[in-house]
Structure 1
């Protein structure tokens, strides 16, 4: 009995350090996890918006549609033997005049070549060009005739029509300021991405003021409204065929 008792007393203190070490280990690991969570939470809430938000990754930001003063031109080819404008050329001038009336209220210029082989022919069709413009509704006092020095040799110098109007445009496309591989690794679209789409959208805007403010509502059609109300009261179909 004495030997057994002594053995029990000797073996009991040997287990105590392991249990104590386990408890300390659990406390230390718990404290470490709490500290790590606090650090990660701090990193998530204190995001550096100045450095990450300052890099534009939207094509609408890199290629915005803006309203600028743009010169619109039409070059009319005139051969040295021409004495009048063809029907196709007159249609082109008429379309140019229609665009002018819808976008500008300034002056429209007729620039005639001087010193070229077709200078005489261009002077002969000058009056016909003015007639086409005035027939389309351009006021005669808005038409200005000027000349420019052309080369005596080479291609035939055209007669240029021009006017200035506020137009929806984007910045120039086709710029590649950096290597495409840099964007591939960072998973970002390249600089020229979306520029063609923005340019096409800007070219389709008939009224640039639509980008500034919406248009006023058109007046109601009183006749159509009375018809619809009458059909509704009769219980008939009010849709338009």
Structure 2
């Protein structure tokens, strides 16, 4: 390849001379190397748009929890009907599964149904003892009704270890901002976590597994004998 150069106003034809790389050329090489190095570490890049885990935002916690149920009482009632008796029996069963402390029967004071509630509180205590809860664990106490014309209920309560999440329903920011940043909004997943915590029969299962029950040696001998006689297709339990 030939090129034209001008020396002292005259044009000469010659071969290209060997030149040292200029500053711009060296800078381009350095920049290219930096880009290649960045590509090699692409897996270390943290992307802020990845949404948070709702299980981290709303964890299920194990702590002391108050279990309550209200039994409505009319001012003229003499005894519990079948439906409300079932409520008391169900609450007693929940107590047996979760607690060994004190159960309170709270009766209202200052409401039109005060006399009826005091009378029926004794019936409720009797039902609870019939469900297998010792009478020494049951306390009848009173509370001030909110209004004199209010038919305040009898409240049953006890404390036990339970699973729960923090309070749901927090909306501190406009959802538009979370959508633009591709992030979960603060209340996202809270109801799901709360419902899951309410369905856990034994909160201790979240802390550690239960111990294994002893094997049924007699049943094991039957299964092994069936396998020896009939192979893997054995289905008889004789």
TM-score of the superposed pair, with normalisation by structure 1: 0.82
Structure number having the greater strand percentage = 2
Counterpart for residue 91 of structure 1:
86
Q: Are the structure 2 counterparts of residues 121 and 35 from structure 1 closer, same or farther at C-alpha, using a change threshold of 3 Å?
A: closer
Q: Secondary structure at the match of 1:213?
A: coil
8 A Cα contact 2:76 2:116, kept in partner: yes
Written as runs of structure 1 = structure 2, the 5 A alignment for 1:188-227 is 188-227=183-222
Query: Cα distance 1:229–1:30, how it changes in 2: closer, same or farther (>3 A)?
Result: same
After superposition, the C-alpha distances for 1:157-213 in whole angstroms (9 at most, x for unaligned) are 111110001110001111012111111111112111111110111011000100110
Q: Which residue of 1 aligns with 2:63?
A: 68
Paired residues in the alignment total: 226
Contact 1:110 1:160 in 2 (8 A): yes
Q: Secondary structure at the match of 2:16?
A: helix
Kept in 1, the 8 Å contact 2:111–2:150? The answer is no
The question of 1:108 aligning with 2:103 is answered yes
Q: 1:35 to 1:68 in 2, by over 3 A?
A: closer
Q: Residue 176 of structure 2 corresponds to which residue in structure 1?
A: 181
Q: Quote the Cα distance in structure 1 between the aligned partners of 2:168 and 2:80.
A: 36
Distance 1:75 1:176 in 2: 30
Q: Give the superposition deviation at 1:34.
A: 2.1
| Cα distance change on mapping 1:238 and 1:136 into 2, 3 Å | farther
Give the secondary structure class of the aligned counterpart of 2:211: coil
The aligned residue for residue 5 of structure 2 is none
Maintained 8 Å contact 1:56/1:62 = no
Give the 3-state SS of the residue equivalent to 1:93 in structure 2.
Answer: helix
Instruction: State which drifts further: 133-142 or 215-224.
Output: 215-224
Partner Cα separation in structure 1 for residue 110 and residue 187 of structure 2: 43
Alignment of 1:4-153 (within 5 A): 11-13=12-14, 15-16=15-16, 20=19, 29-38=28-37, 40=38, 57-150=52-145, 153=148
Partners of 2:178 and 2:185 within 8 A in 1: yes
1:240–1:116 distance in 2 versus 1, CA, 3 Å: farther
Equivalent pair of 2:61/2:164 in contact (CA under 8 Å): yes
Structure 1 residues 36 and 223: alpha-carbon distance in aligned structure 2, compared to 1, 3 A threshold: closer
Q: Greater helix percent: which structure? A: 1
Are the equivalent residues in 2 in contact too, given 1:117–1:152 (CA < 8 A)?
Answer: no
Task: Please tell me whether the aligned partners of residues 112 and 146 of structure 1 are also in contact (alpha carbons under 8 angstroms).
Answer: yes
Native 8 Å contact 1:122 1:159 kept in 2: yes
